[in-house]
Amino acid sequence: MRNGSKIVRMDDWDNEAPVKNARKRPKCDFRDALRVHAKYDYLYYSLFHRSTEGKTLEAIKQSEDCARIMADRVCRLLDRLLLSLDGWCIVTTPRRRHFEGFNFSEFVSGLISDTKHIPFYKGAVQCLTKDRLSPEFHLLREIPEKKVIIFDDIITTGMTLTATRNLLLDKEQIICIVGIHNN
């Protein structure tokens, strides 16, 4: 029998046809993969990379356990990079599409703040548009510290990280840290 232009066997009639070229969901296996990346005129660190095994990125963003792993790795990186955290604070890139429920980046940043005893400015940066290529970002509060750590959970294009960084260019030092490099 025919289904559209495809011949379907009678014994497979009730089975759904496999989707060809279905986009596989990116995953992360949380194997240490610390790297430094160049983006425009700045550098950022990534802790983990997309993989074919492990949890999907969607599942990771809903998991407090994964957030704790990521916060631990960020704290370890900060120990390697900085002799002292005096005068430092942490901000996170804003949510851009999902405004309800668990906020992975805020949870990770809060854990880092508590562990390292540095201020965390929750919700300091807001994105006013859902446009992925030309987001409109605003700094909602003054950040008195002159040294800022920007944390982003997952980077794909880098537009969110770049836009957040651009709002803080008046600072003396900025360290950009990404949990998972999704490229």
CATH number, residue 67? 3.40.50
For 125, the domain range is 2-181
Q: Quote the pLDDT of residue 134.
A: 73
Tokens of 93: 């890139």
Q: Tokens for 103? A: 């906020």
73-123 per-position pLDDT tens digit: 999 999 999 999 999 999 999 876 655 679 999 999 999 999 999 999 999
pLDDT, position 129: 76
Angle at 103 between CA 100 and CA 107, to 5 degrees: 155
Helices in the chain by DSSP H: which ranges? 57-60, 64-81, 104-116, 159-167
Phi, psi (rounded to 5 degrees) for 79: -60, -35
Q: Partners of 39 in the beta sheet? A: 42
User: In sequence order, what DSSP letters do the residues of 19-30 get, joined into one string?
Assistant: PTTPPPPPEE--
> What's the number of domains the chain is made of?
1
The stretches in the chain having pLDDT less than 70 are: 1-23, 96-100, 132-133
Q: Which pLDDT does position 99 carry in this prediction?
A: 57
- pTM comes to 0.85
Give the span between the Cα atoms of 147 and 89, in whole angstroms.
Answer: 6
